[in-house]
Amino acid sequence: MPAQQVHPQFPNIASARLGDFDYVFYHAIEDTTIWVLDATSSVLFESESGFRPLAASTWATENEVHLYYVGRGQHLREVYTTDQGATWKAGQVNDLDAEAPDGSGLGATGSPSPAVYIVDRFNYIAEFRYDTGSSQYITLEQTT
């Protein structure tokens, strides 16, 4: 399947590299699908709520690539792959019930201390850091 043009009004791109593989995520010009430009250049999934910010990170020790996005109800969402993009699974961020209002920024860092950042509904920067000891995300506010 050929790569699609990037939507001109939603040029948000997220990228991550794991080993010899680059992953580039973007919104297609013709619909609300989120594409991953990798060896397959394929549709990753249908966006739940149109065009929203994207962020990606590499968890090198775990051999994982994570994609974060804002889904239905303005909730922070995560999918990840452990097999070079052959399959994508829902991540633990989905269980946090974190909300990112329209216009929120979105960023992520990878291992050894993975985290995802949003501007929350109170206009504070919220950090969701993965704690390897408990294998869970911990919620922290970075601004008050």
Query: Looking at the domain assignment, is residue 74 inside a domain?
Result: yes
CA quadruple 92, 94, 97, 101: dihedral sign: positive
Tally of CB atoms within 10 A around 53: 19
Q: What is the CATH number of the domain that holds 136?
A: 2.120.10.70
* Residue 75 is assigned to a structural domain of this protein: yes
Residue 126 lies in a domain: yes
Model pTM? 0.83
The token duo for 6 is 């990037």
By C-alpha distance, which of 29, 121, 122 is closest to 70?
121
Does some domain include residue 95? yes
Q: How many CA atoms lie within 13 A of 71 on its CB side?
A: 18
Predicted confidence (pLDDT) per residue in 110-130, tens digit: 988 899 999 888 888 999 999
d(CA 123, CA 104): 9
pLDDT one-digit tens code per residue, 88-101 = 899 999 999 888 88
Per-residue pLDDT averaged across 21-43, rounded?
69
Range of the domain at 102: 13-141
Indicate whether 114 belongs to any domain. yes
Our count of domains for the chain comes to: 1
Domain membership flag for residue 57: yes
Tell me, yes or no, whether 3 lies in a domain.
no
Would residue 106 count as lying in a domain?
yes
Query: For residues 11 and 71, which has the higher predicted lDDT (pLDDT)?
Result: 71
Does residue 1 register a pLDDT over 50?
no
Judged against a pLDDT cut of 80, whether residue 58 lies above it is answered with yes
